[in-house]
Structure 1
Amino acid sequence: MSPSSTPATVVIYSGGMDSYTVLHRALREDREVHALSFDYGQRHSRELEVAREVCRDLGVPHQVIDITAIHGLIDASALTDASRELPDADYAEANLKDTVVPNRNMILLSLAIAKAVNIGADRVDYGAHGGDHVLYPDCRPEFVEAMNAVAGIANFEPVTLHAPYLRAGKEEILADGLAMGLDYARTWTCYRGEALACGRCGSCRERLDAFDANGAVDPIGYSQRPAAETADGAGDV
């Protein structure tokens, strides 16, 4: 058990909008939240800077774990190999299969479960959601359910794997966060770690679609927004 009487949760926190929402959900449950981020050699490492700033301002204990030593084991992806072209396309298997990082979530979840056991937390939260099912096998319900079963027997202290948006789309995640009054200017989603989000990669497109579905304007800066966004007056920023 956690040293305090408050139940503890380890949140896998990338700095993106999904994990940002998951982090705040856990905080609103009055749980003792410990944020855990990973540097695995991702091209969009700017997300880690965002995660550090958010956790500092919230007063949430936060660790960024350097696992770049395994980069050579998981570099067959456009997200981890800078020599590969990042696809500029909508979020679909045929378009974005090159962005799949081999076995990423199994690796990250395994380490998060270890931390949970180490600090007496009974839960690990992560932001797998329904929009990822078409592309990422390690965000699908079958994977989450199997990992949850393993987390329950891998140690003397069982840990529950909690993915609150497993069957929700990104627009539903955003709707939940907007209802909580969250500031999504404090998130990073773009697959490119540049000064501004690119607006072209699948991750940017999915994010912008979620804001459009909620009748809201994304507060972060983009070097380019899709034509529908500029036609509505959002423009490039």
Structure 2
Amino acid sequence: MKKSIVILSGGLDSTVCMSVAHSKGYELYPITFSYGQRHSREVEQAKKVAKYYSCARHLILDIGFFREIGASALTSQEIEVPTNRHIDDEIPLTYVPFRNAVFLSMAVGYAEAIGAEKIYIGVNALDYSGYPDCRPQFIKAFQEAVNLGSAAPQKGCPIAIETPLLSLTKAEIVKLGVKNGAPLHLTTSCYNGGEKACGICDSCQLRLKGFKEAGVEDPIDYEDYQQK
């Protein structure tokens, strides 16, 4: 069976991305990163999502690097997670420096090792928080780096980076997840990582907006938001 790597955070986008790879008939090899984020909830949810899909193997890597350099509200306790922020194109405090490049680099190495032909990553360039490593230009440039810097193309098995959510709105992502039967109830999006989502951080706001516009009830619980 053909294989694919899925960068799985346990969040909405990566889980829907996993559902797309599953719908294409790939044997799934998710890779999850514990990179010094403020909480471990997303890693725990990623484990549940991987179990839901009966994945052949779920690789979980601890990367202390991001914890050491800080510089992000997601990896430093000294920087507060912004709440009720007007979401625009400015790079927010929750941006983790060059994180997707690091994740993709490791995923490429994993793909080469097991002979996977695809790497799925749930980056999005429409309803997103202003992260530069979610832009299509970055993905295009990284794909070129993979083509030039990996041995896979010379062996006749090039590795393609798949970004099925890149140009979708958050509402379209929710609808796609519902269509594919993705376990949205197992996902977490909150930057604060509580038992209930805060409802007021950037990620919660984007998620809530997406479910509302999709006309779908969000299956997770929130602290500061009452669904109507």
Q: If the length of structure 2 is used for normalisation, what is the TM-score? A: 0.92
Matched ranges for 1:1-237 at <5 A: 6-60=1-55, 61-73=57-69, 75-88=70-83, 89-94=85-90, 97-131=92-126, 135-157=130-152, 158-225=158-225, 229=226, 232=228
* Count of aligned pairs: 221
Preserved CA contact (<8 Å) 1:91 1:203: no
> Partners in 1 of 2:213 and 2:38 — Cα distance?
28
Counterpart CA distance in 2 for 1:57 and 1:181 is 11
Distance 2:64 2:179 in 1: 37
The TM-score with structure 1 as length reference comes to: 0.88
CA distance in 2: counterparts of 1:57 and 1:176, whole angstroms: 17
Within 2, Cα distance between the matches of 1:105 and 1:50?
A: 20
Could you list the runs of 5+ residues in structure 2 that have no partner in the other structure?
Answer: 153-157
Q: Given the superposition, is the C-alpha separation of residues 181 and 122 from structure 1 closer, same or farther in structure 2, using an over 3 Å criterion?
A: closer
Check whether the contact 2:5–2:31 (CA below 8 A) recurs between aligned residues. Answer: yes
Q: Which has the higher contact order (CA 8 A, sep 6+)?
A: 2
Cα offset, 1:20, TM superposition: 0.3
Distance (whole Å) between structure 2 residues aligned to residue 72 and residue 223 of structure 1: 31
Whether the 8 Å contact between 1:185 and 1:220 is mirrored in structure 2 is yes
Question: Which residue identity is paired with 1:103?
Answer: F
Q: Where do 4+ consecutive residues of structure 1 move more than 4 Å?
A: none
What is the percentage of aligned positions where both structures have the same residue? Answer: 36
